[in-house]
């Protein structure tokens, strides 16, 4: 039977999996419900449509999943400078996604609003932390035998997501590549949480 710390870690892992997968599912659903935004580079624009509240829920569920994974890794990864840095990056990304959900993006060409400013802060905070977290944590996993076999997958998804994001900013099929980067990131959150559920981790 799992002790209380391990139970908390497993609960956090379940939230990480559920939150990230729900976010992916809602964004996919919005492609069908609000096709007028399918050509936009920013999935945030789905929040401007008739079903915009689903985009807000997607951001909040993503934030819950990201924050839960930060908690789980804090409990289960060997303490090191890279581990602390990676967990801090995930925590900041979770805060950023909360801000993305609280404030909707301003429509293109519209006057700036407080909601738009909040969303912009979330974006500026969330983009670099999201891209850096898996790459930094891959280095931390190498120093922990319990996580060493998850390093390659983490590094592969992290680098591929980073490359897709760069391609998007370079306007190389940006609608596809930016969504791919986001999906890979959320998939990594889910897979990392799932790994905790399939193994008996003893909290540090």
Ordered per-residue pLDDT tens for the chain, 204 residues: 456 777 888 899 999 999 999 999 999 999 999 999 999 999 999 999 999 999 999 999 999 999 999 999 999 999 999 999 999 999 999 999 999 999 999 998 888 899 999 999 999 999 999 999 999 999 999 999 999 999 999 999 999 999 999 999 999 999 999 999 999 999 999 999 999 988 766 555
Q: Round to whole Å and give the CA distance between 133 and 37.
A: 29
What pTM was computed for the model?
0.93
Residue showing tokens 């990056």: 89
Q: Round to whole Å and give the CA distance between 44 and 100.
A: 8
80 phi, psi to nearest 5 deg = -160, 170
Distances (CA, A) of 20 to 36, 53, 67, 169, 202: 24, 17, 10, 24, 24
């Amino acid at each position: 039977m799992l002790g209380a710390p391990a139970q908390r870690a497993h609960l956090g892992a379940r939230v990480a999996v559920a939150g990230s997968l729900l976010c992916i599912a809602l964004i996919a659903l919005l492609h069908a419900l609000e096709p007028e935004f399918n050509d936009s580079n920013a999935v945030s624009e789905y929040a401007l449509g008739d079903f915009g509240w689903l985009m807000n829920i997607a951001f909040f569920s993503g934030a819950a999943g990201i924050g839960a994974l930060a908690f789980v890794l804090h409990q289960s990864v060997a303490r090191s400078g890279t581990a602390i840095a990676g967990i801090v990056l995930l925590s900041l990304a979770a805060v950023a996604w909360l801000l993305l959900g609280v404030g909707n993006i301003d429509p293109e060409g519209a006057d700036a609003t407080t909601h738009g400013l909040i969303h912009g802060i979330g974006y500026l905070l969330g983009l670099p932390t999201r891209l850096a977290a898996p790459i930094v944590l891959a280095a931390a996993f190498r120093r922990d035998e319990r996580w060493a076999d998850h390093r390659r997958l983490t590094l592969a998804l992290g680098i591929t997501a980073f490359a897709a994001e760069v391609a998007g900013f370079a306007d190389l099929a940006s609608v596809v590549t930016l969504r791919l980067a986001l999906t890979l990131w959320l998939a990594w959150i889910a897979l990392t949480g799932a790994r905790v559920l399939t193994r008996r981790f003893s909290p540090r």
